[in-house]
Structure 1
Amino acid sequence: MFELSTSLSQNKSELYGDLASQARGLLEGESDPIANAANFAALVYHSLPDLNWAGFYFFDGKELVVGPFQGKPACVRIALGRGVCGTAAQLRQTQVIQDVHAFEGHIACDAASNSEIVVPLIDARGELVGVWDVDSPKVGRFDEADRAGMEALCRIFMNSRAPTI
């Protein structure tokens, strides 16, 4: 499996490009969203450095409910507009938070988390499916290159979903 190194020999966009190729290969031919979400979370969690949680929250029509993930046990339900995940879902905008302790209303599922990136998942009809959430114990772990890379990975995940789901 591809291991994202902290080596400066490759830039983040190249590294995310390699990870995107792996994600496409991993998800190709499988349309089950739970199977794909589980494998996607494992791929990202075990490929990127300095993560302590990576996973999905799916929208059930009222709130976000935890889905497949890697890391410590998580909050099960998050209201729209609450915390980083609920904010990303409500605004339908990726949230890149350098220091979660400075984010008003942050939900601390894991006290070791210090930075976070959350990408909203929107289907082809424009409906909210959920969010992709990644946490790090390092303050300032995520930047604009991570935003672009995570958004590209999420497009791959969303394209793997069966059209009827």
Structure 2
Amino acid sequence: MDKIKKKGRYERIYDQLSGLLNATDSAISRMATVAAVLHHKMDGFFWTGFYLLRDGKLIVGPYQGPVACQVLDKDTGVCWTGINEQKTIIVPDVKKFPEHIACDARSRSEIVIPVRDRHGQIIAVLDVDSRHLDQFDETDAAELEKIVNLI
């Protein structure tokens, strides 16, 4: 999908989510809705979900896709890299990422976006995997960052 078309799709998703998420202030409910909408409306999203930061571990939260790893050990994998570096991480080829955690061997590329609370503290990450190499780019990063700010 070209960047203009992709950006337009994200803008429509953002507008839809803005309306849907007003129904509750529950972060878990909002995450569940975000995961479902993104997973079903964006091409190439193979696994779409959240890992919640709890007691120094990342535990699986709301998601769409194949069965997930339940717990991600501290300081390993793409999700922890996003937390430790406090920024969005784009991985064009997960096989080339040191300490990549393969919850599903079909995953080929990944993007992770930190989710922050009202005080700016990271409380979770949005993790999206694709079966395609080089699925994610700066358009995905910018638009997904806007979407997680709705949570």
Cα deviation, residue 9, structure 1: 9.7
2:65 aligned partner = 71
Query: What TM-score results when the alignment is normalised by the length of structure 2?
Result: 0.94
Task: Identify the match of residue 40 of structure 1 among 34, 43, 62.
Answer: 34
Cα deviation, residue 10, structure 1: 4.6
Alignment partners' CA distance in 2, 1:106 and 1:146 = 20
Q: Which moved more, 1:74-83 or 1:94-103?
A: 74-83
Q: How many residues align?
A: 151
8 Å CA contact 1:122, 1:128 repeated in 2: yes
Query: What TM-score results when the alignment is normalised by the length of structure 1?
Result: 0.86
Task: Identify the match of residue 151 of structure 1 among 134, 145, 148.
Answer: 145
Alignment partners' CA distance in 1, 2:53 and 2:134 = 28
Q: Write out per-residue CA displacement over residues 74-132 of structure 1, whole angstroms, 9 at most, x where no aligned residue.
A: 11111332100111112111000100000000000011100000001122222220100
8 Å CA contact 1:45, 1:54 repeated in 2: yes
Cα deviation, residue 13, structure 1: 1.9
Alignment partners' CA distance in 1, 2:122 and 2:4 = 34
Task: Identify the match of residue 99 of structure 2 among 81, 102, 105.
Answer: 105
Matching residue's letter, 2:71: R
CA-based RMSD: 1.4
User: Does structure 1 residue 114 correspond to structure 2 residue 114?
Assistant: no
8 Å CA contact 1:80, 1:87 repeated in 2: no
8 Å CA contact 2:77, 2:100 repeated in 1: yes
Q: Classify 1:117/1:9 alpha carbon distance in 2 versus 1 (closer, same or farther; 3 Å).
A: closer
Q: Which moved more, 1:59-68 or 1:76-85?
A: 76-85
1:52 aligned partner = 46
Matching residue's letter, 1:61: D
2:134 aligned partner = 140
Task: Identify the match of residue 15 of structure 1 among 4, 9, 21.
Answer: 9
Alignment partners' CA distance in 2, 1:11 and 1:80 = 37
Task: Identify the match of residue 119 of structure 2 among 112, 119, 125.
Answer: 125
Task: Identify the match of residue 93 of structure 1 among 87, 98, 101.
Answer: 87
Alignment partners' CA distance in 2, 1:51 and 1:9 = 16
Cα deviation, residue 61, structure 1: 2.6
